[in-house]
Amino acid sequence: MKTLWVTLLSRLAYRLPLSDKITLAHGGGGIETEAMIEWLFRRLVPKEFWKTKDGYGLDVLDDAAAIKIDGLGYIVISADSFTVSPPFFPGGDIGHLAASGTINDVLMMGARPIAALDTIVVEEGFPISDLERIVKSMVNVFVENNVAVIGGDFKVMPKGTLDKIVISTIGIGITKAEPIVDRVRPGDKIIVTGPIAEHGVTILALRMGVKSNELKSDSRPLTDLMIPLIDHYRSVIHAARDPTRGGIAMALNDWARESNLLIVIDEQSIPIREPVKAYAEMLGVDPLTLACEGVALLAVEGSAAEEVLDFIHSLGYKQAAIIGEVRRSERFKGKVVLKTSAGGLRIVDPPSGEIVPRIC
């Protein structure tokens, strides 16, 4: 009995429910996902094994991990699984999404992607023609971005034991310089490189049977943006994230909490297309919490922010915008605050619950 109470109290301390059952919310990218990472990995893995010598891993919980190779730089490695439902959607498919997400995770740590591995698990009875279409889509993205596909695995589950298809990937990149590890500083400006919530609204609308020619996923690799940006402005980029599960709300809350600083964002400055905004309101979701699959969120040294923004615009990302800044605050440290279009203020909490399950 004593052991049971200790277990229950421990779960509460890690913000886990008392129930012993996994829910969809645990995979949604919000606070439940973070709680599971803390409970299953940072709690169970001894701290001295969180990273390799002079590298980065569970200590920073970034988009990827980095292994230092003396005299050569860093190998940056990402691992991800893709379960998006439906597997085909306006603007892409699960293969396109998997390749793009893998590349972007490596890029956000300031590395150049060079190779990838994939693991595909399909349900018995899955159409070979659909599988070929998905794999072609994935391979095309990797090849177009000069990323070698060096291996992987393929398995089949009995009918009824898997919902169609799951793709897992490993992305590998290299950088001679120190990786970009998310560490925002007072005075930093927050830049988003394109309209938010495109992917999240598209998938949610499909799930709810809403058809619209105005909605399309923004799934895309950001090589053409991040490589030039890293080459020119690495020293002033203090954090970079592709805000997928949990959207910009989760990414900004991560940065605010880890730095113990206040992040203030301006609702009127956040790029979002009117159809996306309208559908998000109709479907009852906050666009700040919805996944973006072709957008980078950056924290940039304040004095260089306008110059960096102009450079991003020159690369074709015309809707990129400065949406906020990082500040010191005793009252609101570790928080994200939104200046609303109506002139008020509201705290942007990290998303919780089943936001949009199986979004990526």
Predicted confidence at residue 11, as pLDDT, reads 57
Taking only the tens place, the pLDDT of each residue in 217-233 is: 999 999 999 999 999 99
In whole angstroms, how far apart are CA 293 and each of 206, 235, 281?
16, 25, 20
Q: Nearest Cα to 315, choosing from 288, 301, 290, 296?
A: 296
Q: What burial class does residue 301 get, using C-beta atoms within 10 Å of its C-beta: 0-12 exposed, 13-18 middle, 19+ buried?
A: middle
Q: For residue 39, what is the DSSP state?
A: I
- Rama region for 31: left / alpha / beta (φ>0; ψ in -120 to 50; rest): alpha
**Considering the chain, what percentage of its residues have pLDDT values greater than 90?**
81
For 189-347, give the CATH class.
Answer: alpha beta
For 55-175, give the CATH class.
Answer: alpha beta
pLDDT-derived band at 62, boundaries 50, 70, 90: confident
pTM tops 0.75: yes
pLDDT for 60 beyond 50: yes
CA distance 166 to 119: 8
Average the pLDDT over each of 11-20, 36-45, 295-304 and give the range with the smallest value: 11-20
- In which residue ranges of the chain is CATH 3.30.1330.10 found? 55-175
- In which residue ranges of the chain is CATH 3.90.650.10 found? 189-347
pLDDT-derived band at 12, boundaries 50, 70, 90: low
Taking only the tens place, the pLDDT of each residue in 74-121 is: 999 999 999 999 999 999 999 999 999 999 999 999 999 999 999 999
pLDDT-derived band at 272, boundaries 50, 70, 90: very high
